[in-house]
Structure formats: C-alpha cells, structure tokens
Amino acid sequence: MTRLSEPAPAKLNLALHVRGRLPDGRHAIETLFAFCTDGDLLHAEGAEDFFLQVIGPMAEDLDRHHDNLVMRAAWALRERRPPMLDGCASLILDKRLPVASGIGGGSADAAAALRLLTRLWKMDPAHASEIAPTLGADVPACLLSMTARGSGAGTDLELVDAGISGAPVLLVNPRIALSTAAVFAGWDRVDLGPLGDWREGRNDLEAPARALVPAIGDIIAWLAAQPGANFVRMSGSGATCFALFDSEDDRDAAAAVCPSTWWHLATFLR
C-alpha cells in the first residue's frame, strides 16, 4: 500500500490586532499569517477503518481521542466522498510542535489531514476548503500555508507578498500550554486600531497571555537581546514567541544558547 505524507508547517502571526466582536460572538481580528518550513508531519495510507497513531517528541502531550482535529478533519472529508467509494485511512502523526502554543499545531495538523486525504482519495480540493472553517479559525490559513492577511475571525484570507520568504527565524516556547479561550477572555476589549505595516503592528493578545504565563516576557526579552535579531513578537495566543534574524548564522548562534528549559525550533519562513 502506497503511503503519502504531508507537512503541517508551524504558523506564525507576524501581527495580530483584535478589533472587536463579530455577530456570531467570535472575535474580529486582523492578522498577517506566515508559515515556517518545519512543523509536524502526517502520513496516511488506505485502510478499512480509521486509525491514528501519534509519534514524535510531543506525542504524549496530544489528546489521541477520536475527537481530535485530525480525526474530525478525516471524518468530515470522508462524509463528502462519493458513496461508491469505500475505505478509510491509517494515519500517523509525527508530533514535533508543542501543544496549545500559538503556532497552529492542531490547526496545521487538521489542514494537513485535509490536503493529504484529498490526495489519497482523489477528491476535489474544494471540499477541503469548505470544511476547513468548520474546524477552527486558523485552519483555512493553515490549509493554504502561505503568507496571507486574515480578517473577520481570521478565516477571510488575502494572499500577500511580505518579502519574508527564506528569512531565518527562531521559535521559543516556555513548555507551558496556554488556552486560547483564556487568553481571549483576558483581552481588555479596547480596539487600538487597524493593521497596516506588520512591523509597526502589535499582538493584542500578548498582555493577557503574559498575565497567565509571565515567562513570555522573559522569552521576548531574551530574544530581543540576541545578536542579529531584527524583529521579535509573540505568535497567536502564545506562549510561543519568535525572532527573525539577519542571518542563518545569527539564528543558529541564538539557538545554541537557548535555555534548556525552553523548547525551541530554528527554521525559515516559507
């Protein structure tokens, strides 16, 4: 049986402005999504039923219950298959990104499942695009995995060229899971204005995230002090922070001295 594989790249929010509430109760945001060349990895091959095996350094932190995002994506896509086609899939998720860390790990895994099973079952990719927003606000962006401006709940996307492809980046997380709902609940409900130039923007979720996990402030200060770091910010609802570097050597030098109590990933922007 042929095995197919699909990357689930780590997602970064280069800026994230919270603008208010949408009629359906979700938060209205403006953000610039970017994606790394590294992340989780999903494998699949045809099978008579659905099976999910989770491996990798972060496997023990992931809920392997049938209701996780990978399985929800798989079931939702299978429901749209032509009735004459039988079979499910055996899935292996190589979990390398921290869970609940603001870099879209679960959303990226769900998006990878949609892309991968669309290939395996030879389905119209339009089905994956229709399912993605039902799985989470970040899933449509992760399905594209390309630099894009997000608005609304983050699901209204516009591809952009931010001139950052290939930029060396270092991701750092304090190994503390952080609830997205709890961080949004701590937002002060003050609209500080629209997103223009992402380098001049902000992450409106940083303050409530730091109130829950003070180590975020330590990471941001440490990254900003590293030679060659030219841009530092927290991603999403945290607690992962990142720095863009002038060169790969500068990034690697920072990675080499990153405190051992923190998780880190040296990678590039796609």
Q: 38, 40, 138, 250: which is the annotated catalytic residue? A: 138
**Contact assessment for residue 165 and residue 8, using Cβ atoms and an 8 Å cutoff:** no
CA–CA dist 193, 191 (Å, integer): 6
Cβ neighbors of 207 (< 8 A, separation 6 or more) are 186, 188
Number of helices (H) and strands (E) in the chain: give both, helices first.
8, 10
- Relative to beta strand 51-55, strand 263-268 is unpaired
Q: What is the DSSP string of 13-30?
A: EEEEEEEEE-TTSPEEEE
| Residue 67 annotated among the catalytic residues of the structure | no
Q: 11, 109, 204, 250: which is the annotated catalytic residue? A: 11
The angle formed by the CA atoms of residues 16, 18 and 23, to the nearest 5 degrees, is: 135
Question: How far, CA to CA in Å, does 32 sit from each of 10, 137, 148, 154, 256?
Answer: 14, 14, 6, 9, 29
| Residue 124 annotated among the catalytic residues of the structure | no
The amino acid occupying position 49 is: D
Best CA proximity match to 107, nearest among 263, 236, 267: 236
Q: Which two tokens stand for residue 235?
A: 């991603």
Half-sphere exposure for 29 (CA within 13 Å, toward CB): 27
CA–CA dist 262, 94 (Å, integer): 20
Residues assigned a catalytic role: 11, 138
